[in-house]
Chains A and B, each alone.
Chain A
Amino acid sequence: MKRIFSAALVASTLALAAASVQAVTLRVSNQGDVQSMDPHSLNESLQLSFTGNVYESLIERDKKMGLAPALATKWTQTSPTVWRFDLRPGVKFHDGTPFTADDVVFTFKRAAGDGSDMKGYTNPIKEVRKVGDLAIEIETTAPYPILPDTLTTLAMMSKKWCEDNKAEKPVDRRKGIENTASFKANGTGPFRLKERQPSVRTVLVKNFSWWGGKTESNLDEIVFTPIGNDSTRVAALLSGETDVMEPVPLQDVERIKSAGSFTVLQGPELRTIFLGMDQKRDELLFSSVKGKNPFKDVRVRRAFFQAIDEETIKSRVMRGAALPTAEMVGAAVRGFQPDMNKRLPYDVEAAKKLLAEAGYPNGFEVTMNCPNDRYVNDSAICQAVAANLARIGVKINLQAETKVSYFPKILRRDTSFYLLGWTPSTVDAHDVLASIMATPNDKGQGTFNLGAYSNPKLDELTLKIQSETDQKKRNDMIREAFKIHQDDVGHIPLHQQALAWAHSDKVSLVQLPNNYMYFKWITLKSK
């Protein structure tokens, strides 16, 4: 009897040991750390991507960036401004409380309230109503056809947990209130937060009671480490201390590929890099031309466009990791027009001629503002542009500086010529139209149209596009607006920079164009 018992004990101990040996741990490193565990505190890709493994939204993106049901199983538009969402039954938060309509109503209130960085997504929403334990209605102030898209970034939180933990508001920096939700988490997602040491490591473990049941992932644990230094991040991957890392510095892509047993995954990102010109002031702030503004003349803008050798920027500056573009949105964004994606030809002679016609046969001098630590090789792009423009007689005084001083400056519109990158967070063309192309006003339109390009026809279309629900008509209007902008050369689009992730060959994963990394799609083979 005793022997049987001890044999059973040994067997069970062995089984336990075997289980712990087999625990599959994925080690991920990134350039920066997730700022907070609170999914409403910061509207930034890394933040939303990481917390997106712990928290879930009503609707999510599938592997092709399409919409897929998540915490809502079904959504229908009952009137132009009212949407009904049926919630998934049987979903539990990590602490065991069931997910209900009350949590959804609470979440929207939280995301629209003080300290939230997600107000941009909740602004078009007038009211969120509970219509049953597992059903809600959302009413928008005006028809808002892209509501489902905006909902993909809004993570659902537990009302009870937030109240119990005094986390009803995202961290409030103004009043200096710390918030439990910034270092603990209670979501519904396939992974739970186990350990959080800011800028050291963050550990997620599998949620065995996830509503989705078995995921295609075999991961039990994810250890996320920020490694700021590029070389160290590459070294940690090559030495086998991490399994996945991003971003890969462009100069190291070849090295990682040639090391064997590693893969570099490069895909176009949603972000478009472009140049903007001050088209509002009657005299440029920083230019040799006095008494008039050369950028008001479309011929000058066109000359600039045609003088820039984007193909060479792609091959030399970006080492091939860029997709030259003629549009202000990338191919993955709704509203992208494949047939209109043709750049004006690179033609120095034509550019010179245009400049001469506009009255500047000898060119002129203008200051260009550029960040040097925000986008991939940003200041090198500006140097290349300056060299290109020198060939048509335009002398660029390049001011490249850190993003910390760059952004405040250009947001004050203290610039004549600048470089910027933009990711439409809704993955829809309207975002770019409203933020970058429409005439700036005090209602939040054209906030990042820093050169104040303005065309009333485009403004009118932008407003219509916002509330048009017929996809065909909507697309036609986007097309028309893009055409106007291209003809006006309102901005000079350059390229979509490439995302670059690297991982060991033991890993298989899915890279989304918005740079989100979902661990539920990652598997790790043992050797």
Chain B
Amino acid sequence: MAGLKTAFGAAYFMPALGAFPFDAWRAFCSDPPLSMLAFVLRRLVQAVLVMLTVAFIAFMLFQYVGDPVTNILGQDATPQQRLQLRSDLGLDQPFPVQFARFVGNAVRGEFGLSLRQGRKVSSLIAERLPATLELSLLAAVIALVFGVPMGVYAALKRGTFFSQTLMTLSLIGVSLPTFLIGILLILIFAVTLKWLPSFGRGEVLALGPWTTGLASVDGWKHLILPAVTLAVFQLTLIMRLVRAEMLEVLRADYIKFARARGLPNRSVYFGHALKNTLVPVITITGLQLGSLIAFAIITETVFQWPGMGLLFIQAVTFADIPVMAAYLCLIALIFVVINLVVDLLYFAVDPRLRVERTAGAH
């Protein structure tokens, strides 16, 4: 466990970890286990509270973000036109009334019309969701496929030149801001080498309401740079985590016994050591998927990737309240759901919790 905590210690300053379910973690580590049902119920109530709070904070903030009326009407409107629009949009009603109406609609997935585009927010988001999910999932895959082996390598060959280089590079990966990585990649691969496109999604294939860029070479080409950009941070995080965990596990007695029995290195490292490091890695990856979706904003802005993050940024610059509200609530929902699933997984994954519960210890 210590290894994992060290990895976290180093990672605390990273904004992406803001979403880590510390409560559940603490419960997992020390609290007396509750009955499954009570635990689920408690988490559900908390989830609802979290969602309401997010909705409230978001809604309250929007009161001060700016005035959509000026944006809609433009510079030539008269004061009467402004007042009229204000009352038509319901902006003149008291705060609690506006909020109650907002929550009621939000529960039904209804956020009204985008002030900027004049289209339904729900359909705007549905249109943008595939682009963001595709990008985030590919980034997660890249992070795992490269991060895990690199972490293993850095742990096994500790102290060699190459693994030191990897560790140094990973520090750069953690500390370089995403937009800088994106722009550097564009400069190298789009402007100088002209291998890959610098913006957009390229050719997409529509499968009903879903659109995918994975069906064509052009789509893949467009996906590479943004996905790599988004993956760099996660990749370095996973690599450092795997390395720390591996170092921890390699000191354990059962590894020594395995070696003593003369098992080949490959089997020791990958069959026994790596397997035992993967539980926290999977947990973190799951949680980080939420962050990938939520923090794709910057990558999407740099690459003009038509996902939800870009939609959100455009909404912010226009004070498009319905879109901003919908986006924040959706992201909160994603996090709440993922956290809930992870909490439940602890019961499924860790045998100790189950044993203690049936034995009624404490």
Contacts and interface: CB of A to CB of B under 8 A. Distances in A.
Nearest to B123: A178
Interface stretch (B11-19, B38-46, B65-73, B165-173): B65-73
Nearest to A175: B88
B112 to A, nearest CB: 7
Contacts of A176: 112-113
A225 B199 contact: yes
A526 interface: no
A448 B319 contact: no
Interface in B156-197: 183, 186-187, 190-191, 194, 197
Contacts of B187: 235
Given A35-B116, A44-B74, A228-B301, A241 B198 contact: yes
A238 interface: yes
Given A174-B89, A407-B70, A227 B199 contact: yes
Given A199-B306, A227-B304, A232-B186, A404 B199 contact: no
Contacts of A407: 66-67, 70-71
Contacts of B199: 29, 225, 227, 232, 235-236, 241
B228 to A, nearest CB: 15
Contacts of A174: 85, 88-89
Interface residues of B, number: 49
A42 B119 CA distance: 15
A225 B197 contact: no
Name A's interface SS.
loop
Contacts of A41: 118
A444 interface: yes
A448 B319 CA distance: 21
Contacts of A229: 301-304
Interface string A105-146: 000000000000101100000000000000000000000000
Contacts of A240: 194
A342 interface: no
A226 B117 contact: no
A404 B116 CA distance: 13
A444 B78 contact: yes
A287 to B, nearest CB: 25
20 contacts: A43-B74, A176-B113, A178-B118, A179-B118, A199-B314, A225-B304, A226-B304, A228-B301, A231-B302, A232-B186, A235-B183, A236-B198, A239-B190, A404-B66, A405-B66, A405-B67, A408-B70, A425-B76, A442-B79, A447-B79
Interface of A: 29, 35-36, 41-44, 117, 119-120, 171, 173-176, 178-179, 182, 197-201, 225-229, 231-232, 235-236, 238-241, 373, 402, 404-405, 407-408, 411, 425, 435, 442, 444, 447-448
Given A173-B89, A173-B113, A447-B78, 10 more contacts: A174-B89, A200-B306, A225-B304, A228-B313, A235-B186, A239-B198, A405-B67, A407-B66, A407-B70, A411-B70
